[in-house]
Amino acid sequence: MAAEAEVIDGPDILKEWVGKGRVFSKTFNPELYHEVQQFVFREARLQDIHDYDAWEELWSDDAIYWVPANGTDTDPERDMSLIYDNRSRISLRIRQLKTGRRHSQTPPSQLARVVSNFELIESDNNDIKVMCNAQIFETNLRGDTMWASRNEYSLRRINGELKMAYKKVVLINNNKPIYTLSFLV
Amino acid sequence: MEQYVHSKWKKLIQPGMVHGSLYYDDEIFKEEVEKIWFRTWVYVGHVSEVPNVNDFVTKSIGPMPVLMVRDRNGEIQLLLNRCPHRGNAVCVQEKGNRARFTCPYHSWTFSNSGELMNYAFPEGYEGTDKSKLGLSKVPRIAIYRGFVFGSMAQEGPTLEEHLGGARRTIDQLCDNSPTGEIEISAGFLRHRTRANWKFILENECDGYHPGFVHSSIFSVSDSAIGSLYGNDAVAVTRSFGNGHTEVDPRPEFRRRGEPLSWFGTTTERLPEYTRQMKEAYGEERAREIMIDGSPHVMIFPNLFIAEIQIFVIQPVSANESIQHSTAIQFKGAPDINRRLRQQTMGSVGPAGFLLADDTEMYERNQRGLEIRDPEYLYLKRGEHRERRDEDGFLIGHSTDDLPSREIWRHYLSIMEAE
């Protein structure tokens, strides 16, 4: 996708939190950029309003939904993650929410999230890879909570529609004790 | 005065009734820190978290951070991360590998067994005895099968005395590993909880709640946990004394007689683990171990072994706690270890199918206590059917409040002591 690209590498001391160097695209394809943004904005809205079925529809069949703990590029096959769902566990998560007896989401969190700083990154296959930042305001029975994350997506065009094959949400404070996180992040 | 102190605690803690202020009162919390967290044995960490010489990891005793170190001689040390000079932290990293710690403020440098090695511009300390200026240590440290406990009291019962009958559960856990050893190596999830630590403590062996708090996940998955806590369950709750309690589902698993049923799987699905177990223990014993499964035990005050994961409960204040949780790994058994991690990640932590909802209950309980009538919580379920098992331990139905009553009985004895 990128004729020209550049590696953005942080200082070593931040690697644990910023992650490994990624190759960001310098070329700008306005149509693709717009399409990707619209997809992610829609995903954000479906999460905010707890439209579980519509959100689940966004995933591809081989999807991975990953929220690491204690760093950015941890090994989910070795280290504990907050969420490390394959497609069937995504489905289980949704089915639990839909019972209406998921107490930590009954009543559901009231949410508004802002997603920004979109950048396309180099992909080693046909998936479209994008990174962005998110801030989420949550209010629930406990009170108000602010969440912030760096998100990474692999999007795939399937029958003309974009689907999420991979979503990684790196909470900025994922090495600290955090409150219950039972809405869709 | 002593008479007054005694009557204060006896008023707050009555048979089957505990006063709400025990969960929210700041003064009571301060007394707990002194009498429980800084006096009794507290679980700190596992030796496998510092596998190599010079490894260190930040752990805690109550609200206080502790450095667990494997020093240059391979010994486990529990050091207090406070420079004796002005109080600065000698280490701000969560974990790593270091032979010495240097305070950034005035460059005092300590070995990883705590001795003061040198300080900047030593002429200014002429005649000073360096040996008295090392890092403080947790006064007593004891290790049982890799589980490291510390006590801030210079004297008191030994760890083995403290664990008493609950030692059996740690043995039971380790038996499930073909090498007899477990590892804590996957890192912890840390769940911030706006509730008193004792709501968490009491819930761990509360077999009354799962059918309700977790009905959402039980109804959409094929979890077999639900049947352990029904009205007809044959599982029991048990008190080992000293505040240690368990839910013991072995009667149910023995009735089923299927190895690995406790883990919701079969020997066919874990052939390598099964082979290793038979090789290690012999056919018959391996079968027994794999039928009984791993324990569900709450070691007072802060180590909860929940079959496949551990939780470490850390009090922060009267109204706030942290639950640290991670998968148990059986040393040298990769095929079961992956499943142990996957199930743990699904269940626990801030986003877990189970723990998000348990934690929601803790926080609602805590807020509920702002309502001051009734003054007491009611813990009498199953009082009439408590009985002794063949070892003399108190047991009850899996849904009874027996664990809570026994925790409070122990709590009372600690808090009444001067």
Give the pLDDT confidence score for residue A24 in this predicted structure. Answer: 87
Contact of A22 with A36, CB cutoff 8 Å: no
What is the pLDDT, as a whole number, of residue B116?
Answer: 98
Q: Considering chain B, what percentage of its residues have pLDDT values greater than 70? A: 98
Q: Which of A104, A145, A167 to substitute to test the interface with B, most B CBs within 10 Å?
A: A104
Q: Which of B216, B341, B367 sits opposite A101 (nearest CB)?
A: B216
Contact with chain A for residue B341, Cβ under 8 A: yes
Return the number of other C-beta atoms located less than 10 Å from residue A126's C-beta.
Answer: 9
The count of CB pairs under 8 A between chains A and B is: 105
Q: pLDDT tens across B359-413, in order?
A: 999 999 999 999 999 999 999 999 999 999 999 999 999 999 999 999 999 999 9
Higher-confidence residue of B252 and A13: namely: B252
Q: A27 touching B, CB under 8 A?
A: no
Q: A77 in contact with B at a CB cutoff of 8 Å?
A: yes
Cβ-in-10-Å burial (0-12, 13-18, 19+) of A7 comes to exposed
ipTM score of complex: 0.95
Structure tokens at B343: 């199930």
For the segment A102-122, the average pLDDT, to the nearest whole number, is 97
pLDDT band at A6 (very low <50, low <70, confident <90, very high): confident
Q: Do A92 and B221 touch (CB under 8 A)?
A: yes
Closest CA to A53 of A149, A184, A151: A184
Asked if A78's CB is within 8 angstroms of B363's CB, the reply is no
Determine the pLDDT at residue B247: 97
Residue B373 at interface with chain A, using a CB cutoff of 8 Å: no
Query: Is B418 at the interface with chain A, CB within 8 A?
Result: no
Q: Taking residues A56-65, what's their average pLDDT?
A: 98
Mean pLDDT of A63-89: 97
Burial class (CB in 10 A: 0-12, 13-18, 19+), A90: buried
At B224, is the pLDDT very low, low, confident or very high (cuts 50, 70, 90)? low
B360 has a chain A CB within 8 A of its CB: yes
Question: B181 φ, ψ to 5°?
Answer: -130, 145
Closest residue in A to B324 (Cα–Cα): A177
Nearest Cα of chain B lies from the Cα of A124 at a distance, in angstroms, of 28
Q: Between A67, A92, A175, which is nearest B220 by CB?
A: A92
Nearest CA in chain B to A98: B216
CB-CB neighbors (< 8 A) of A64 in chain B = none
DSSP B313-382: EEEEETTEEEEEEEE-EETT-HHHHHHHHHHHHHHSSTT-TTHHHHHHHHHHHHHHTTS-SS-EEE--TT
Closest-CA distance of chain A to residue B332, Å: 14
Contact call for B357 and A102, based on CB within 8 A: yes
Check residue B320 and give its pLDDT.
98
A103 close to B (CB below 8 A) = yes
Cα distance from A117 to chain B (closest Cα, Å)? 26
Q: Are B191 and A104 in contact (CB under 8 A)?
A: no
Q: For domain B42-151, give the fold.
A: Rieske Iron-sulfur Protein (2.102.10)
Shortest distance, CA A109 to any CA of chain B (angstroms): 12
Structure tokens at B62: 């109550």
Identity of the amino acid at B376: Y
- What tokens were used for B409? 């009985």
CATH number of B164-416: 3.90.380.10
Q: Tell me if B192 and A182 make a contact (CB, 8 A cut-off).
A: no
Cβ neighbour number for residue A122 with a 10 Å cutoff: 14
B114 pLDDT above the threshold of 50? yes
Residue scoring higher pLDDT (A20 or B138): B138
Q: What is the pLDDT of residue B232?
A: 79
Spell out the domain ranges in chain B. 42-151, 164-416
Which residue in the set B217, B338, B359 is minimally distant from A96, CB to CB? B217
Mean pLDDT of A171-178: 97
pLDDT at A124: 87
Q: Once rounded to an integer, what is the mean pLDDT over residues B95-118?
A: 97
Residue-wise pLDDT for B127-147, tens only, equals 999 999 999 999 999 999 999
Average pLDDT score over residue span A110-123 = 96
Q: What pLDDT is attached to residue B283? A: 97
pLDDT band at B418 (very low <50, low <70, confident <90, very high): confident
Average pLDDT over residues B339-345: 97
pLDDT digits (tens, 9 = 90+) for B256-298: 999 999 999 999 999 999 999 999 999 999 999 999 999 999 9
Domains, chain A, in order of start with CATH, read 30-171 (3.10.450.50)
Task: State the distance between the two ends of chain A, measured CA to CA, in whole angstroms.
Answer: 28
Our CA-based measurement puts residue A168 at a distance from the nearest CA of chain B, in whole angstroms, of 14
Instruction: Tell me which chain B residues have a C-beta less than 8 angstroms from the C-beta of A89.
Output: 346
B356 and A CB contact within 8 Å: yes
Reduced to 3 states, what is the DSSP secondary structure of residue B51?
coil
**A52-71 residues touching B, CB cutoff 8 A:** 67, 69-70
Q: Could B357 and A104 be called an inter-chain contact, meaning their C-beta atoms sit closer than 8 Å?
A: yes
Contacts of B346 in chain A (CB under 8 A): 89, 92
Find the mean pLDDT for residues A135-155: 98
Q: Residue A125: what are its φ and ψ, rounded to 5°? A: -145, -160
More confident residue, B75 or A2: B75
- Residue A82 has its nearest CB partner, among B189, B322, B367, at B189
On chain A, the residues whose CB falls within 8 A of the CB of B351 are 67, 82-83, 180-182, 185
The pLDDT value recorded for residue A8 is 65
CB contact under 8 A, A82 and B191: no
- Chain A residue whose CA is closest to B342: A84
Which pLDDT does position A2 carry in this prediction? 43
pLDDT at position B2 is: 53
* Better-scored residue on pLDDT, A8 or A31: A31
pLDDT at position B5 over 70 = no
Are A67 and B220 a contacting pair at CB < 8 A?
Answer: no
Per-chain mean pLDDT for chain B: 96
Q: What is the pLDDT of residue B230?
A: 79
Whether the CB of A83 is below 8 Å from some CB of chain B: the reply is yes
pLDDT band at B231 (very low <50, low <70, confident <90, very high): confident
Query: pLDDT class for A1, splitting at 50, 70, 90?
Result: very low
| Minimum Cα–Cα distance from A94: chain B residue | B220
Inter-chain CB proximity A69 and B187 less than 8 Å: yes
